[in-house]
Structure 1
């Protein structure tokens, strides 16, 4: 379907204002494409169809009880998803499916295959070694069945780094597309004197994010602030401060109020790593294969064996050395500013789109 304004459909199980790295990526990509003259539609969970931030967004009602009760972000969509996606896939020149673990991804891929609409799949995370054996089992079954079918029909698969790429079944389809960061919003601020340095954790309070490891690292020499939810029941340590669920547009100020970032995720390298680096924070990273990514190969980061209990000592050393914190933060910010931006990311994304549908996306 050729037109003066090429039409791309993004399908994601959740988008902003729901907080998360995938949601931030979808927002940055769709806004960047909008600014370059693309006609962009998004289908996600929620209610109502409206123009949000200049982008037509179609939200389908879904039950999110699995996330609320167990920390598993798997919306169970209304049956309306079937005909909404049939209509939107038919209208699109190209469909961009965000990951493979979700009902929205399965239905979008099905309609793309039926209607012969080309699609790409964005892989934001590899296999997550969740603490629950049941969650790991279900994840493995989904990846081996629905996930493999979704990947099999895609023209191109876009993993965020080489670690995620290594788990994909067909290397010939793979184009690594790293995340970006908005360096206009996330940038270093003048240092602020505090009674104690503040270490920051950003993310859901679930095993995948390493929340328990970070909470257990409380120390008298520093404070740990958590952005992502309210204080869990029974966790009364006064050295831990909880900021609640912080809206995405307020996150630059959260980074500005911290002195060091702690990332304890497993199976993923979250976008918060780049945001913290761009904000001038030194970053302590869990020693996990997924966190060894192109952006963590640069300066400003240190790997810590958090599973072995080494995080408190690493925090104590940085708390006692403000000059080292400033040095690491400045090096990381310079690296993020020079090597990563959403403009570069969207440049590469447009190249992928045109390679997938040569000649059909007229501008």
Structure 2
């Protein structure tokens, strides 16, 4: 019976992001179920080396993350030691879980899996990322069409997070949609006082694909907009905008608890923050984008908006003007998230997928 799984991700906690949260939940959940779990990732947010926590042995390889810091492109460039580290870990594993196809870790892991005949699955967290840079979009398209197809082509199964991502996969791939989950013990509704200005929350990096500038332009006297993801950018002096900095993962439940509404303006992806906000009892306003139409956003507590700054401002003013309706939407969304999604169910499905992938 297969019990050794290797996860391969370009970033992992303490680096912040939705993919990182998924990797942490999956690896901890698998370890709790008796799997021997290893993780190979970058050492951009911590020191290189091997550590063990929550039953997960993490091998962090030195990498340079300047492309993300300067241009918003999360593509760490690794020390050559990545090749040897992945060779050793793939050789030890019974099955390998590769997180997406756009990264050096994914390419090297898929190559070693093919050479060593180790079965692997590929987790597709996003579809095409509509970056503001035409060069980045061009490179991304070229990678998906070449190396990406190589990575997907050897996988026993490809795990897109929703039907939108699934539609972009090669017809030859064996596909099983595996939606995200949410920790309803950490993210849950709490009391929200009526004697203050309503707070609108934005969570994410301040980059075009997250819609940061659009949300910032929707400032209004009827509400406060709080941004979790970085410090106040230069030149953005509007006092109606509050910047919470980079909020650690452990403090995110409190950030949701202090808000009244969540805005998600992403393009080409449906971030994990949608489920976290729903579970926390926040009504969610979503950009009208195909990638945001997923199974979980079809539930209650969610409204879609054709977002330009004026549309978003009007939708927010309408929502915050009726606090009872705002509260009801949040409660309905929280009940839906609690009933339909959990990391336990998600990890149970992974356990089954791995066992099927390792059968002769």
Deviation at 1:129, TM superposition (A): 1.5
CA gap of 1:86–1:172, structure 2 versus 1, over 3 A, is: closer
Give the distance between the partners of 2:135 and 2:260, measured in 1 at CA.
Answer: 37
Q: Deviations over 1:243-277 (max 9, x none)?
A: 00001011000000000000000000000000000
Map residues 44-123 of structure 1 onto 2, 5 A cutoff: 44-46=41-43, 47-123=48-124
Aligned length: 356
- Structure 1 runs of 4+ with >3 Å offset: none
Following superposition of structure 1 onto structure 2, how do residues 247-326 of structure 1 map, counting pairs within 5 Å? 247-307=248-308, 309-326=310-327
Tell me the secondary structure at the aligned position of residue 110 of structure 1: helix
Deviations 1:66-109 (A, max 9, x none): 00000110000111000000000000000000000000000000
Structure 1 gaps, min length 5:
none
Q: Please state how far the C-alpha of 1:51 moved relative to its aligned partner.
A: 0.7
Measure, in 1, the Cα distance between the counterparts of 2:149 and 2:235: 41
Asked if the contact 2:5–2:97 (Cα under 8 Å) also holds between the matched residues in 1, the reply is: yes
1:147-196 alpha-carbon deviations (Å, 9 max, x no partner): 01000011100000000000000355100000000000000001223421
Counting only pairs closer than 5 Å after superposition, residues 154-303 of structure 1 correspond to structure 2 as 154-170=155-171, 172-303=173-304
C-alpha distance in structure 2 between counterparts of 1:147 and 1:97, whole Å: 12
Deviation for aligned residue 1:336: 0.2
C-alpha distance in 1 between matches for 2:42 and 2:252: 23
Deviations 1:9-65 (A, max 9, x none): 000000001110000000000010010000000000001111133310000000000
State the match for 1:150 in structure 2: 151
Give the one of 9, 13, 16 matched to 1:16.
13
1:211-249 per-position Cα deviation (integer Å, ceiling 9, x unaligned): 010010000010000000111111111000000000101
| TM-score, normalised via structure 2 length | 0.97
The 5-angstrom pairing of residues 127-142 of structure 1 reads 127-142=128-143
Structure 1 residue 351, shift from structure 2 partner:
1.1
Whole-angstrom distance in 1 between the partners of 2:9 and 2:79: 15
Alpha-carbon displacement from aligned partner over 1:193-214 (angstroms, at most 9, x marks no partner): 3421000000000001010100
CA distance in 1, matches of 2:228, 2:182: 19
**3-state DSSP class of the match of 1:244?**
coil
What's the TM-score once normalised by structure 1's chain length? 0.96
Gaps of 5+ in 2: none
> In 2, Cα distance between the equivalents of 1:308 and 1:199?
14
Give SS of 2:335's match: helix
Structure 1 CA distance for aligned equivalents of residues 92 and 32 of structure 2? 20
Shift of 1:308: 6.8
Q: CA RMSD in A?
A: 1.0
